[in-house]
Structure 1
Amino acid sequence: EKGAIACLVRSVTANSLQTPHTGAMRYGDAKVKIPAAAISTEDADTIAGLRRLGAEVRVHLKMEAKTLPDAESANVVGELRGSTWPDEVVVIGGHIDSWDVGHGAHDDAGGCVIAMEVINVLRKLNMIPKRTIRVVLWTNEENGLRGGIAYAKDHADEMGKHVVAIESDAGVFRPTGFSLECMDKQRETIAVGQMRDIMGLFSSSVGEMTVRVGGSGADISPMKDAGVMLMGQRVEGSRYFDYHHSPADTLDKVKPE
């Protein structure tokens, strides 16, 4: 619309070491598809500064990115059957895909491990939940959400038995609580109160844990219209975007403590 021949995007991060952060983009209904690239904050600031001084800036783009045909993928699903109400399901998960520039340690391998550890810890404690706990490692969160969409579609006739769906996709940092949302606002209000009581049991060991109404997670969002209660883990993620979608998102950035 503006006559551009390319688009440069300043990386979404507060801290940078000359490292561009990647991400998804869509052309929508655009008739002309122009190249688009993320650049480091340093380069973005340099270009902006030169333009403010009235200088003409020329940029040479050498890009190899391309949109490939769709390929088959799959969610990874495992569950611990409930003892009393096995048909009622608690879903917990993270997304198994990541961007190619890094390892995806925080986004979202850590979230997948958190979900799997729920079942691992329960088994070590010889505890069988009353409801089935289903771990879902979603595919294609980063550029299509097709794993979450496919799950909601394939299990449409079971949504009424899904008690809650929980997602961890904010990095592996100190937990601070949960955000919660539901189409049924009365249930939402009741659940917030119940979760605040539960979180109060943990606040002394890990710091204050809060519960609030708000966004939950991308992968579980397709279940919202079916009335499923959704919860997203919240963390002290002030450094998340230092690593997010960049070559720096590697395992050494995940602190075991």
Structure 2
Amino acid sequence: MKKRYLLGMGLMLLLVSNVQAQDEVIEKIIKEETENSQLKQIGHELMDGVGPRLVGSPQMQKAHDWAVAKYKGWGIEARNEQWGEWRGWERGISHIDMIAPWTKSLSGQQLAWSPSSPEGGANGEVVVIPDLADEAAFKAWLPSVKGKYVMISAPQLTGRPDYNWEEYATEESFEKMKEDRTESNRAWNERLQKTGQGRRELPLALEDAGALGIITSYWSQGFGANKIFSASTKKVPTVDLSLEDYGMLFRLAESGEKPMIHLNAQSKENGMVPTFNTIAEIKGTEKPDEYVMLSAHFDSWDGGTGATDNGTGTIMMMEVMRVLKEVYPNPKRTILVGHWGSEEQGLNGSRAFVEDHADMMPKIQALFNQDNGTGRVANVSGQGFIHSYDYLGRWMSKVPREITRDVETTFPGNPGGGGSDYASFVAAGVPAFSLSSLSWSYGTYTWHTNLDTYDKIVFDDVQNNVIMAAIMVYMASEEDDMVSREVRVPLGRNGEPTEWPAVRSPTRKGGVE
């Protein structure tokens, strides 16, 4: 009896000491991030120092090299893994001035992969595609664009977002505006359809006819915000103008004022350049060949500096690694972070990693991805893994309640088929989870816009996310066994079973046709 009692006491002391050890690491995680956060400095270096990270650009390569050096400065092993190549393009200046009927510098910039203006820029009249009868009439009109800049985006009836109208307008005025806007958009779309050209074919037809450049405006439905994507022209520049300046030029052209602009948009083609993922790791001690992963895409569009898409996810994961190296330097399992290239063109970096490291996929305990803005984590789905509630719930229970109290969970959920890099791993059967963030008007104001800059980062929220992710990685690493990978076949909208998402290969040679 005495022997059994002593054994029981020994087991109890062991359990208590393990709990205390766990609590001690968690306390250290919270203390380190609360008292010594490096997020603002890391964010400044990345967003302000390196800048936007368009795949194939010099800034993208600079970012990869910066991240490796940063990790090594923290004593964390890091490397750049090449997975493909992309059309290399380097953004130069964009300077756009209206020079008639009066003088004004216009707010706008060239789109990604836009060809250059002639050296020093070029003057030209601005014209709008007229409301022609049909494709034959459009072809007859085409020669008239030679030496001119052509506007191809719909004019906006109002530069005020709907929430602003809703706050101040009468109900009747608001409804009338929406009806007028719907009719204006319908008429513009019909005008474009009569040309017989698709959205990407139209600029090519215009440049082949001798146009000096293409002018667009992709308003994001918020004050001052425009989406900045890629050009489809091959020989002349494509620029995006602010709603305000685009509308002014459009009205002048439509009324016969013949506005003139000087456009100088410079860029440089750099041929095909290598593309990379940046991988960093803290080697495991007991189970070094099993992994817990952090995940965030490193590339961005380049209208702004890619601060919330996905600079915040990037600096969050870097800070998690820094904190864990400081307070948990000898994890049970290897902790990996992947900073993926070319997510914006189709999850290419993460798909390449899954394809190139297929033998690793069964050994990944869990993966945590963040990629939708600066807000605190608001949603977590089990991604179709039947037992995800058991282990995610257990790990999340260790996170301070003030961080998790507003997190909505869906278990087991359905697997993500795309959207961000966690989906590349879900397709391979890895328990991979999106730490989905509170909006902060992400879709309107920062997602792929000219306003996605450092000042939009809410560091308090990102700091909470660091604490949450670091604790969950620590718990996943310490888990005795590998978690269950049993999945539920996803259900379609009609409630019928569908297929688990398929593993997809990346585009390894991009930006070329």
TM-score in terms of structure 1 length: 0.74
Q: Any idea what SS the aligned residue of 2:288 has?
A: strand
Equivalent in the alignment of 2:338: 136
1:76–1:136: 8 Å Cα contact kept in structure 2?
Answer: yes
Q: In structure 1, how many angstroms separate the alpha carbons of the residues matched to 2:269 and 2:389?
A: 42
Equivalent in the alignment of 1:245: 448
Equivalent in the alignment of 1:116: 318
1:104–1:250: 8 Å Cα contact kept in structure 2?
Answer: yes
Equivalent in the alignment of 1:31: none
Equivalent in the alignment of 2:435: 233
Q: Any idea what SS the aligned residue of 2:406 has?
A: coil
Q: In structure 2, how many angstroms separate the alpha carbons of the residues matched to 1:162 and 1:251?
A: 33
Q: Which blocks of at least 5 consecutive residues in structure 2 are unaligned? A: 1-134, 136-192, 204-213, 461-513
Q: In structure 1, how many angstroms separate the alpha carbons of the residues matched to 2:329 and 2:312?
A: 24
Q: In structure 1, how many angstroms separate the alpha carbons of the residues matched to 2:365 and 2:230?
A: 32
Q: In structure 1, how many angstroms separate the alpha carbons of the residues matched to 2:422 and 2:290?
A: 17
Q: In structure 1, how many angstroms separate the alpha carbons of the residues matched to 2:367 and 2:230?
A: 25
Q: Per-residue displacement from partner, 1:38-58 (whole Å, max 9, x unpaired)?
A: 7767799x8xxx9xxxx99xx
Which residue identity is paired with 2:408?
T
1:141–1:219: 8 Å Cα contact kept in structure 2?
Answer: yes
1:180–1:232: 8 Å Cα contact kept in structure 2?
Answer: no
Equivalent in the alignment of 2:387: 190
Equivalent in the alignment of 1:21: 227
Which of these two proteins has the greater Rg computed from alpha carbons?
2
Q: In structure 2, how many angstroms separate the alpha carbons of the residues matched to 1:163 and 1:126?
A: 18
Q: Any idea what SS the aligned residue of 2:345 has?
A: coil
Distance 1:175 1:223, change over 3 A: closer
2:217–2:226: 8 Å Cα contact kept in structure 1?
Answer: no
| Larger helix proportion of the pair | 2
Q: In structure 2, how many angstroms separate the alpha carbons of the residues matched to 1:66 and 1:232?
A: 36
Instruction: Give, in angstroms, the shift of residue 10 of structure 1.
Output: 4.9
Equivalent in the alignment of 1:256: 459
Instruction: Give, in angstroms, the shift of residue 199 of structure 1.
Output: 2.7
1:174–1:236: 8 Å Cα contact kept in structure 2?
Answer: yes
Bigger shift: 197-206 or 144-153? Answer: 197-206
Q: Per-residue displacement from partner, 1:136-181 (whole Å, max 9, x unpaired)?
A: 1101111243211211111012211122222110112122242332
Aligned residues: 240
Distance 1:253 1:16, change over 3 A: same
1:196–1:210: 8 Å Cα contact kept in structure 2?
Answer: no
Q: Which blocks of at least 5 consecutive residues in structure 1 are unaligned? A: 27-34
Q: Any idea what SS the aligned residue of 1:72 has?
A: strand
Q: Any idea what SS the aligned residue of 1:73 has?
A: strand
Q: In structure 2, how many angstroms separate the alpha carbons of the residues matched to 1:67 and 1:162?
A: 39
Distance 1:198 1:89, change over 3 A: closer
Instruction: Give, in angstroms, the shift of residue 124 of structure 1.
Output: 2.1
Which residue identity is paired with 2:228?
T
Equivalent in the alignment of 1:29: none
Structure 1 residue aligned with 2:409, among 211, 222, 235? Answer: 211
Which residue identity is paired with 1:162?
I
Instruction: Give, in angstroms, the shift of residue 255 of structure 1.
Output: 2.1
2:305–2:454: 8 Å Cα contact kept in structure 1?
Answer: yes
Q: Any idea what SS the aligned residue of 2:226 has?
A: coil
Instruction: Give, in angstroms, the shift of residue 25 of structure 1.
Output: 9.0
1:83–1:129: 8 Å Cα contact kept in structure 2?
Answer: yes
Q: Any idea what SS the aligned residue of 1:74 has?
A: strand
Q: Per-residue displacement from partner, 1:61-98 (whole Å, max 9, x unpaired)?
A: x8989998642111111101112211111121211111
2:218–2:228: 8 Å Cα contact kept in structure 1?
Answer: no
1:221 has 2:423 as partner: yes
Bigger shift: 222-231 or 73-82? Answer: 222-231
Q: Any idea what SS the aligned residue of 1:149 has?
A: helix
Superposition CA RMSD, Å: 3.7
| Matching of residues 1-257 of structure 1 within 5 Å | 2=193, 3-4=196-197, 5=202, 10-11=218-219, 13-17=220-224, 19-23=225-229, 70-181=272-383, 185=384, 188-202=385-399, 204-206=401-403, 207-212=405-410, 213-214=413-414, 215=416, 218-241=420-443, 242-257=445-460
Distance 1:131 1:243, change over 3 A: same
Bigger shift: 201-210 or 87-96? Answer: 201-210
Instruction: Give, in angstroms, the shift of residue 198 of structure 1.
Output: 3.2
2:228–2:450: 8 Å Cα contact kept in structure 1?
Answer: no
Bigger shift: 68-77 or 132-141? Answer: 68-77
Q: In structure 2, how many angstroms separate the alpha carbons of the residues matched to 1:148 and 1:36?
A: 30
Q: In structure 1, how many angstroms separate the alpha carbons of the residues matched to 2:400 and 2:379?
A: 9
